[in-house]
Every structure is written in structure tokens, then in C-alpha cells.
A = this chain, B = another copy of it.
Amino acid sequence: MQDHLSQTFSALADPTRRAMLARLSLGEANVSDLAEPFLGEMSLPAVTKHLQVLEKAGLITKTRKAQWRSCKINGDGLKEAADWMEHYRVFWEESFDRLDTYLKTVTAPPKKGDENV
């Protein structure tokens, strides 16, 4: 049994599942609309499996509306992973600062009167 954070990262480790979340970031969608763009490259059971992985990881929720099953993003499901990531922010900001310092040493200052630089 995977811990929750591992389950979240594992669910995100797939381009199809991230594409599904990207679609849902634009708004709720029913399962068949969500599946449609992927059916050229994979079967409906494969699409359904991806949705199940997202649902099991708590990244989406499915609700039944009349005869439709509608999916939407569950923000809480991403928060733990984002909080984990936040702890490491200092490391990529540090490397950006180093790049910035380096660029300042290699770029010449703009010439006087040249306002387009």
C-alpha cells in the first residue's frame, strides 16, 4: 500500500493524466468529453483506468449528474504535494540567483542614450 504522497506523485507521473488535469483546470467535464481527445491513441478502458488512478489519488472527484458522471479537480489532493515541493523552493531559487549573478557579469551595461536596450 503506497503512502498518500507517493500515490499523488505516482498519479502525476504520466502525461495523459496530467493532460486530463489540464483539461479539468478549465472546468468540470463529463467522463465522455474528457475521454474523447485520448480515444485516438488508446482504448476507452485505458482512459477509464487513468481516471481511476486520478480519483484514487484524490486528485479528481466524480459526481453523478442525471445520467452523466462529471469530473472535477480536487484541489486538496494536490496541496500535500505542493507543500512538500515548497520546502525545496530555496534550491531552485538559489540556482536562479547564481544564473542571474553570472548573467550580470557577462552582459555589458547599456550604452548611454540607447533607450531600446
Contact = CB atoms under 8 A, between A and B. Distances in A.
A25 interface: yes
A69 interface: no
Q: How many copies does the complex hold?
A: 2
A3 interface: yes
Given A10-B9, A12-B9, A76 B88 contact: no
DSSP majority for the A interface?
Answer: helix
A84 interface: yes
Interface residues of A, number: 35
Nearest to A79: B92
A18 interface: yes
A90 B89 CA distance: 19
